[in-house]
Structure 1
Amino acid sequence: MTEIDTSDGGVPPLAPEQLATYFALMEAVSLLQHRVEQQLRADGGISYVQFQLLARLVQADGPLTMTQLADGVVYSRSGLTYQAGLLETAGLITRSTLPEDERATLVTLTEQGAALFGRVLPGHVEVSRVLLFDPLTADDVRHLGEVMTRVRDHMRAQPPRSAAPRKRRAGTAR
C-alpha cells in the first residue's frame, strides 16, 4: 500500500497497516449496512435507524425515554425525534410525557411495532449471518467480538458531541 501522509500539525500519521485496516473496516461496515438497509426496507418498510429503535424497545421489555433510546443509537437528537415521529405515525410506537417530568418523552412499543420487528428480524439475522459470520471461524467470531467490544467501549467512553456541554454565545448571561 502506498503510504499516505495522515499527519496534521502534530498528530502522528497512521501506520500503513492501521490505514489499511481502517479502510477495510469502513468498507465492510458500509457493505453490510447497505444490504441490511435493503432487507429492512423490503421486508418491513423501515430504515436501519428505525429498526434500532424498535430493537431497543423490544430488548427493554417496556417503555423508554427518548434519552434512554438516544443513549444506544448513534443519531442526532433532532433526527431521533423525526424517526420516532415516523414510527408513531405508522402506529409502531406511542409517545407520551412522563407525569413526574413533563420535559421527558416516554416511548412505548405497540403490538404492531413488536409484530413488525418479529417479521423483519429473521431476514436481518440471515443477511448478517451470510455477509458477516459465514466467512469466519468460531474463533474468528470470538476474537472479533472481543476486539470490537474493546473498541466500542473506548469510543463510548468519549462523550458524544450531543452530550457535551453547550458553549454559551459571547454576551449571554449564565
Structure 2
Amino acid sequence: MEPTPQHVAAYFALMEAGALLQQLVEQQLRRDGDLSYIQFRVLAQLAEAPEQSLRMTDLADGVVYSRSGLTYQADRLEQGGLIARSPSPDDERSVTVTMTEAGREALERVLPGHIDLVAKELFGPLKEPDVTAMADVLTRVRDHLRTVPRGPATRRRPAAN
C-alpha cells in the first residue's frame, strides 16, 4: 500500500498525541506516586494477574518492554518494596514477580489521578462513537503489531577478520 497524505497525517497525529499524553501521564505518576510510566504499567499488570504474580518474561511481553530494561525497573521497584522477586516454582530458570502490599498501596495512590487525567485529556475531546471507533482501530493495530517480529533496530555487522 502506497501511503497517502492522509496516512502520513494520521501517523504523525497518533505519534504526537501519544507523546503528549505520555508526558502528562509521566508527570502525574511522578507527582502522585514517584513512579515512572513503566513502573506503573508493571504494577497495573501485576494487579490484573492471578495472585498478583507473573513470570518476568510474561511481564516484559505484557508491558512491551525489553527484558534488560524491565530488570532495571524491577530492581527499582523491589528496592522500594513495591514488588518481590523469587525463583519460579515451575521453572528454575524463570523469576516470578509478585506485587507487595506497598505496591498495591502505591497503585491505589496514583490510580485516581491517572483515571481523571486520561478521562479529561484523552477522552474529553471525544464523543462516545469516537471512543468506540478508536478502541476498535487501535485494538486491531495493536493486535497486528504484536504479530510482527521485534528485534534490534539495526543488524549487527559481521565481525571483521
Answer whether TM exceeds 0.5 for this pair.
yes
Matched, 1:40 2:40: no
Instruction: Name the structure 1 match of 2:136.
Output: 146
List runs of 5+ in structure 1 lacking aligned partners: 1-11
The sequence identity of aligned pairs, in percent, is: 55
The TM-score, its normalising length taken from structure 2, stands at: 0.90
Q: How does 1:51-130 map to 2 (within 5 A)?
A: 51-62=40-51, 63-130=53-120
Residue 146 of structure 2 aligns with an amino acid whose one-letter code is: R
**Which stretches in structure 2 are left out of the alignment for 5+ residues?**
none
- Alpha-carbon deviation of 1:13? 5.0
Give the equivalent residue in structure 1 for 2:3. Answer: 14
- Of structures 1 and 2, the larger Rg is shown by 1
Quick one: which amino acid aligns to residue 44 of structure 2?
A
SS at match of 1:159: coil
Deviation at 1:76, TM superposition (A): 1.3
CA deviation string 1:29-56 (max 9, x = no partner): 0010000000000000010000000000
C-alpha separation between the residues in 2 aligned to 1:151 and 1:35?
A: 23
* SS of structure 2 residue aligned to 1:14: coil
Return the offset for 1:19. Answer: 0.5
**Displacement, 1:129?**
0.8
Q: Secondary structure at the match of 2:146?
A: helix
Equivalent residue, structure 1, for 2:125 = 135
Are 1:28 and 2:17 matched, yes or no? yes
Aligned with 1:126: secondary structure? helix
What's the C-alpha RMSD, in Å, of the aligned pairs?
1.7
SS of the counterpart of 1:123? helix
Shift of 1:101: 2.2
TM, length-normalised to structure 1? 0.84
Cα deviation, residue 99, structure 1? 3.6
Tell me the amino acid that sits aligned with residue 153 of structure 1. Answer: D
| Greater displacement, 14-23 / 83-92 | 14-23
